[in-house]
Chain A
Amino acid sequence: MKTLVAVLTVLAVIIALWYAACLPMNIKGVLTEAERAGVTVVPAGAKERRDMGVIGLVLDNSFAIPATWAQKRPRLPAPHQVAVELWKTTGAMVLKGKTMSKRSLFFHGWVTLSATLLGFAIGTGLGILLAVGIVHSRVMDMSVMPWAIVSQTIPIIALAPMIIVVLYSIGVQGILPKAIISAYLSFFPVVVGMVKGLRSPDSMQLDLLRTYSANLNQGFWKLRLPASMPYLFTSLKIGIAASLVGAIVGELPTGAVAGLGARLLGGSYYGQTVQIWSALFAAAILAACLVALLGVIERVVLKRMGMGA
């Protein structure tokens, strides 16, 4: 109950700040529109106002405040505008029986989600394989790890177009290029987490296995792998969020027509800020659902393993 109150309070503060931020962000546009419609504005003339402080403009033209929350193409849309747009492109579509129409966020969300999941699967598999190699071989530890780290310092936004162009030239297109970019972002947290997890058994545990003359294989399956499970889930949660970012970024350079990335891009072409923001929120909600789903799987798996006290 107490936490609920706290959470709601924080949420209310954020929304209030957001509404407040709409005033200075949108006031100039609103005043220009109002003047065009024949309303007296202080001072008159867009040119006059260009270099004025926005706070002062809001104070001098308080009548315009409601309009800053109701523009058609605001610089910063108000929360309820985003909410309405989200509803129009999701729930309302479902009610009309057009869940998968081109205007529905379910359609775009699914396009992005499928690439995310494929990329996540590739990235996780690759990450686990690399981690196993790194833990068992000093050579791999010293040769692979530095490259894995370097790979993450290259901005994905610069790399994504190159990946897509290269893959296109060898005839690969569609979901795969996006999935590869998404795998590129998600393998890293998995490698780091799994290496730490596979190395988590202490020397006493390793000595115990030595007293049984256990071989490497048995040590891996009976000790290292189960011990790494909590670490794996932590990295999977980071990895899936990174996968989603990768899939969205992968949609940008192709001028894709479908996917959350395409909605972001389309919105910015046509100045549809409300569309951009609702696509952003859709992506955030999707990421939250994916992470929460992994959290549930984590709880179930660890509990079944006896580790979820």
Chain B
Amino acid sequence: MTTESTTQAVVEARNLDLVFPTNDGPVQALRDVNLTINKGDFVSFIGPSGCGKTTFLRVMAALEQPTGGEITVNGMSPDEARRQRAYGYVFQASGLYPWRNIARNIKLPLEIMGYSKSEQDKRVNEVLELVELSGFEGKYPWQLSGGMQQRASIARALAFDADILLMDEPFGALDEIVRDHLNEQLLKLWARTNKTIAFVTHSIPEAVYLSTKIVVMSPRPGRITDVIESPLPKERPLDIRDSPEFIEIAHRVREGLRAGHGDDV
């Protein structure tokens, strides 16, 4: 894991610890997490349930405070980074407001951040095109399929100029075919916008297909067991998943997951 001196670190975590105090005693959600995410990386987090993937994303987003170690986002604290609109967050559920149509849902962050009306309209058009939802601006969320809703929520996260996209199992609730399609779209979008993406998933093929870097985690306490730099090219047709390289990486991820599990049994 040598990072070239020219690449710019966007997220740096050093010896990160996070303990949740609960009624049944403290829960160590993250232990000694060290990770560097570079500009333009597509990083996937994979690991069994409860290994701290969501928690790590929330720490980056300043939604949780680490209890030990350090983390910087764009060279500042996550809190400052948030105030500078460094990231957009996509949750597992789309969380679209049922009382707003798609265009107005996408305008929500823009209104809060004080963009002008004309700028809002311009950006809505731009991001709707990016997620291939042009023409749906007047529809309400319940008039859209689950996959379209999730795309709309991605558009909402893209609408303001955040360099980092944090996505927590955005396609977790969708079926495989829709998912493949959205993954393809997401890669295109990533190539076009040059964002840095942190992506949580439970699916090995999804992680391997999307990522330049795969972070394998294991639970109790949540920690990183392996970081795999993907040798796959940036241009990835869906059938790359049958290539030997792809299968080899998938194998390594599976091994990593198994090893993590073996530890705690």
The chain A residues found within 8 Å of chain B, CB to CB, are: 204-205, 207-214, 218, 222-223, 226-227, 229, 305-307, 309
Contacts and interface: CB of A to CB of B under 8 A. Distances in A.
18 contacts: A207-B58, A207-B89, A207-B91, A208-B89, A208-B91, A208-B95, A211-B63, A212-B112, A212-B113, A213-B85, A222-B108, A226-B97, A226-B99, A227-B99, A305-B99, A306-B98, A306-B101, A309-B142
B98 A211 contact: no
Contacts of A222: 108, 111-112
B108 A307 contact: no
A222 to B, nearest CB: 7
Contact of B95 (A205, A218, A226, A229): A205
B61 interface: yes
Majority-rule SS of B interface residues: loop
Contacts of B99: 226-227, 229, 305-307
Contacts of B95: 204-205, 208
B112 A214 contact: yes
Kindly list the 3 A-B residue pairs having the minimum CB-CB distance in the complex, ordered from nearest: A305-B99, A306-B140, A211-B89
Nearest to B79: A213
B83 A213 contact: yes
Contacts of B83: 213
A307 B63 contact: no
A209 B112 contact: yes
B164 to A, nearest CB: 11
B100 interface: yes
A306 B142 CA distance: 9
Nearest to A211: B89
A91 to B, nearest CB: 43
Interface string B47-72: 00000000000100101000000000
Contacts of A204: 91, 93, 95
A223 B96 CA distance: 11
B146 interface: no
Chain B interface extent, by class: 20 to 34
B55 to A, nearest CB: 13
Nearest to A214: B112
Nearest to B141: A306
Given A212-B109, A229-B99, 8 more contacts: A207-B91, A209-B112, A210-B63, A211-B63, A212-B112, A222-B112, A306-B98, A306-B140
B221 interface: no
B220 interface: no
Contacts of B108: 212, 222
B40 interface: no
B261 interface: no
A208 B113 CA distance: 13
A213 B91 contact: no
Contacts of A305: 99
B87 interface: yes
Contacts of B142: 309
Nearest to B98: A307
Nearest to B111: A222
Interface in B8-28: none
Given A222-B108, A222-B111, A211 B97 contact: no
Contacts of B91: 204, 207-208
Which of A209, A210, A306 has the most B CB atoms < 10 Å from its CB? A306
A227 B96 CA distance: 12
Interface in B182-241: none
A306 B102 CA distance: 11
Nearest to B99: A305
Contacts of B93: 204
B88 interface: yes
A207 B109 CA distance: 13
A213 B113 CA distance: 8
A222 B156 CA distance: 15
B82 interface: yes
Contacts of B82: 210-211, 213
A305 B109 CA distance: 19
Nearest to B109: A212
Contacts of A223: 97
Nearest to B58: A207
B112 A306 contact: no
A302 to B, nearest CB: 8
A229 B100 CA distance: 13
A212 B142 CA distance: 24
A210 B254 CA distance: 35
A45 B89 CA distance: 89
A306 B61 contact: no
A18 B142 CA distance: 48
A97 to B, nearest CB: 48
Interface in B87-142: 87-89, 91, 93, 95, 97-101, 108-109, 111-113, 140, 142
A218 B112 contact: yes
A204 B92 CA distance: 9
Contacts of A210: 63, 82
Nearest to A229: B99
Nearest to B160: A212
A211 B109 CA distance: 9
A305 B104 CA distance: 12
A16 B63 CA distance: 65
